Amino acid sequence: MGYQLKKRPYTDEEAKTLLAPVMSPESTDWHYNKHHMGYVAKLNEIEEKLKNSDRSAANANFAEFSELKRQESFNHAGMVLHDVFWDNLGGDGDISGAAEIKAAIEKDFGSFDAWKADFIATATGAKNSGWGLLVLDKLGGNRLRNVQVDFHNFGAFWGAVPLVACDVFEHAYYHKDGPNRGAYIKNFVENLHWNRIEQMYKDA
């Protein structure tokens, strides 16, 4: 059956209104129905090609199998982080009703405002191709941490579960905010749906 595009917790039409503070209506459509879907489709294509790829030819310079394995992690990470990205959005940024994740953030960052400042700085400082993430670092003390990941799969922490994923590839914000990445990130944080994020935290 392969990988499937995960449904967002709102319809395409609802997304245009709900996510308008973060992205233009066109971007919400392109980003999900073209870009995100593209990672899922390419991942399935790679999985099929891997079945018959010549493993005996693998080497560090170039071989079909080696390159497929590199692109497998890139497309898988792109799919997973976008799954989290869409689940994060559509709220009002108010964490007060999500007591468990709020307490965890306050424990690991000192306060919600301190987390927000650190998250915004983390996302702002990512390269042109990258993400700002809040993760539960299960193998590093079971603590929350903000991490900067470039190119989906470079800089990830092993055993860390992404809870908040801010896409800072230019396609996420240029159509609405142009080069003003800071405005996009601020709007992203203010649009977070903390009840869904808390559920992900509990599941993790």
Q: What is the pLDDT of residue 126?
A: 80
Look at residues 88, 111, 139 and tell me which one is the last residue of a structural domain. 88
**Residue 111 is encoded by which pair of tokens?**
């306060």
Q: Is the pLDDT of residue 155 over 70?
A: no
Task: Let me know whether 66 and 120 are in one domain.
Answer: no
Identify whether 12 is part of a domain: no
Identify whether 9 is part of a domain: no
Residue in 4, 158, 188, 173 with CA at minimum distance from that of residue 73: 158
**pLDDT tens-place string over residues 15-61:** 999 999 999 999 999 999 999 999 999 999 999 999 999 999 999 88
**CATH number of the domain within which 45 lies:** 1.10.287.990
Identify whether 2 is part of a domain: no
Task: Let me know whether 139 and 197 are in one domain.
Answer: yes
Task: Let me know whether 28 and 79 are in one domain.
Answer: yes
Domain that holds residue 196: 99-203
Q: Is the pLDDT of residue 94 over 90?
A: yes
The Cα–Cα gap between 148 and 190 comes to 19
How many domains is the chain partitioned into structurally? Answer: 2
Identify whether 198 is part of a domain: yes
Task: Let me know whether 111 and 189 are in one domain.
Answer: yes
**Residue 136 is encoded by which pair of tokens?**
């539960």
Residue 87 confidence class, pLDDT cut points 50, 70, 90: very high
Identify whether 93 is part of a domain: no
Q: Is the pLDDT of residue 103 over 80?
A: yes
Say which residues have a Cβ less than 8 Å from residue 120's Cβ, sequence separation at least 6.
132, 182, 185, 186, 189
